């Protein structure tokens, strides 16, 4: 049936791969269930490949509203953009995830901050 590529090659390959990228070797536990613990790097510095992220028209409108009025609410956006609350929240979450906007303070008395000054252009994620 040839269901196995190489018998007993997984653990050495794991160790080599982790070593090659500068991560600590995995820790193997064989008592009871066989488990493997993969360690994170010792440093908090993480290098990501550059990804270009282009704002959609709705996201551009949301960013523009936040730039004009840092206290703008989701309800204001719903009425001005004629979209559902769920849709507005979905776009805001994307903008937050991409670090284009940030909310400081509570939902009732907080402010929006546009982290990328030109929300109408391409943004490079670092």
pTM metric for this prediction: 0.53
- Higher-pLDDT residue of 67, 116: 67
More confident call, 46 vs 60: 60
pLDDT tens for each residue of 52-110: 567 888 888 999 999 999 999 999 999 999 999 999 999 999 899 888 899 998 888 89
Q: Which helix (H) or strand (E) holds 63?
A: helix 57-68
Name the architecture of domain 51-125.
Orthogonal Bundle (1.10)
Contact yes or no for 45/126 (Cβ under 8 A): no
d(CA 126, CA 50): 6
What pLDDT, on the 0 to 100 scale, is given for residue 50? 44
pLDDT value at 40 more than 60: yes
Kindly state the percentage of the chain with pLDDT values over 90: 32
Name 114's bridge partners. 101
Check residue 91 and give its pLDDT: 92
Q: Please state the domain extents for the chain.
A: 1-43, 51-125
Helix (H) or strand (E) holding 35: strand 35-37
């Amino acid at each position: 049936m040839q269901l196995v590529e190489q018998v007993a090659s997984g653990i050495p390959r794991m160790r080599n791969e982790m070593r090659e990228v500068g991560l600590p070797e995995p820790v193997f536990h064989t008592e009871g269930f066989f488990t493997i613990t993969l360690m994170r790097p010792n440093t908090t510095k993480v290098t990501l490949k550059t990804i270009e992220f282009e704002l959609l028209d709705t996201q551009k409108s949301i960013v523009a509203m936040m730039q004009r009025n840092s206290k703008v609410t989701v309800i204001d956006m719903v009425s001005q953009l004629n979209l559902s609350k769920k849709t507005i929240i979905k776009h805001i979450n994307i903008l937050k995830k991409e670090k284009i906007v940030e909310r400081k303070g509570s939902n009732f008395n907080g402010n929006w901050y546009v982290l990328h000054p030109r929300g109408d252009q391409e943004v490079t994620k670092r």
